[in-house]
């Protein structure tokens, strides 16, 4: 029996009928039904980026998305931030031809970072590519509704990770570990503020100490995460205010992801009826 080659552009159900084929072929394919899935996702390519920054003041990264070769109209892009802690989904179902502005782009001193751009089909198949970029930043930056604040002096960072685990002990001396998914991450951040030069920064840190909500933390080692930030110490010696912050990572919220995609003005305007 000859091979059958199908070029299918959408999900389809194919009924193969033996018809007048020879007996061997009839026995092999009688009443055979085959599900033919949609095309595999196309590999993203030709994606570029630009950096919007003012000196040490980190701003944003813009990704310019283009439709990959072999894609179809129903394909979309999902976008992830890549950091040392893995991939974080920040946007779904973006058109294949569009621009994406990440106002909370991870940065790092002399290090290469990346976004992951995944092309997804209507059936859920994905192909992705990583888009490396350079965005220098040697500050601790914290964003919240009254911020941001950037803290550049005498930075010290200590991260801690804790597994969610309970250990059961038995009479025979054996112990079993029971794990929940996820790891608790905490960061201890310390820095100095030169009060004579930057009273506004002191005021912002005091505002952050009173803020009842989550903030977005970025540090020069490429970390970028949502956190509950506690100002645990502010001590002043002469013109220097030393600040210690504790940041407990929490689930990323919509406020620090990409905004939902909306079509440009005019794309969805109704046609004039005459």
CA distances from 104 to 58, 143, 231, 254, 265 (A): 9, 8, 21, 12, 25
Position 136 scores a pLDDT of 86
Q: Does a cis peptide bond (omega within 30 degrees of 0) precede residue 148? A: yes
CA distance 225 to 185: 10
CA distance 28 to 247: 64
Position 102 scores a pLDDT of 93
Max intra-chain CA distance, the chain:
98
Position 45 scores a pLDDT of 84
Residue partners of 84: CB distance under 8 A and separation at least 6: 221, 222, 223
Residue-by-residue pLDDT tens, the chain, 274 positions = 445 544 544 444 455 555 555 665 555 554 443 333 446 888 888 788 888 766 556 678 999 999 999 899 899 999 999 988 889 999 999 999 999 999 999 998 888 899 999 999 999 999 999 999 988 888 999 999 998 999 999 999 998 988 888 899 999 889 998 888 878 888 999 999 987 678 899 999 999 999 999 999 999 999 999 999 999 999 999 899 999 999 999 999 999 999 887 666 555 444 444 4
Q: Which fold has domain 140-255?
A: Elongation Factor Tu (Ef-tu); domain 3 (2.40.30)
Domain 48-136 sits in CATH at: 2.60.40.10
Position 24 scores a pLDDT of 56
In the chain, list all ranges with CATH 2.60.40.10.
48-136
In the chain, list all ranges with CATH 2.40.30.
140-255
């Amino acid at each position: 029996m000859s091979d059958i080659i199908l070029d299918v552009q959408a999900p389809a159900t194919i009924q193969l009928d033996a018809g007048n084929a020879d007996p061997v072929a009839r026995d092999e394919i009688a009443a055979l039904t085959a599900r033919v899935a949609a095309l595999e996702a196309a590999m993203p390519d030709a994606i570029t980026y630009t950096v919007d920054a003012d000196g040490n003041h980190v701003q944003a990264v813009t990704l310019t998305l283009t439709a990959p070769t072999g894609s179809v109209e129903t394909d979309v892009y999902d976008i992830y931030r890549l950091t040392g802690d893995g991939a974080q989904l920040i946007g779904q179902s973006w058109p294949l031809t569009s621009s994406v502005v990440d106002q909370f782009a991870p940065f790092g001193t002399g290090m290469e970072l990346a976004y992951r751009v995944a092309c997804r089909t209507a059936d859920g198949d994905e192909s992705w590519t990583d888009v490396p970029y350079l965005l220098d930043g040697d500050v601790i930056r914290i964003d919240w509704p009254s911020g941001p604040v950037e803290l550049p002096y005498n930075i010290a960072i200590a991260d801690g990770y804790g597994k969610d685990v309970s250990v059961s002990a038995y009479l025979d001396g054996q112990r079993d570990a029971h794990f929940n998914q996820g790891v608790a991450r905490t960061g201890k951040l310390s820095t100095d503020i030169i009060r004579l030069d930057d009273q506004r920064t002191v005021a912002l840190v005091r505002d952050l100490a009173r803020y009842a909500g989550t903030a977005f933390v970025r540090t020069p080692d490429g970390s970028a995460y949502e956190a509950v930030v506690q100002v645990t110490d502010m001590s002043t010696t002469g013109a220097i205010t030393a600040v210690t912050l504790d940041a407990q990572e929490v689930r990323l919220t919509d406020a620090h992801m990409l905004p939902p995609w909306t079509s440009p003005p005019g794309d969805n305007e109704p046609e004039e009826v005459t």
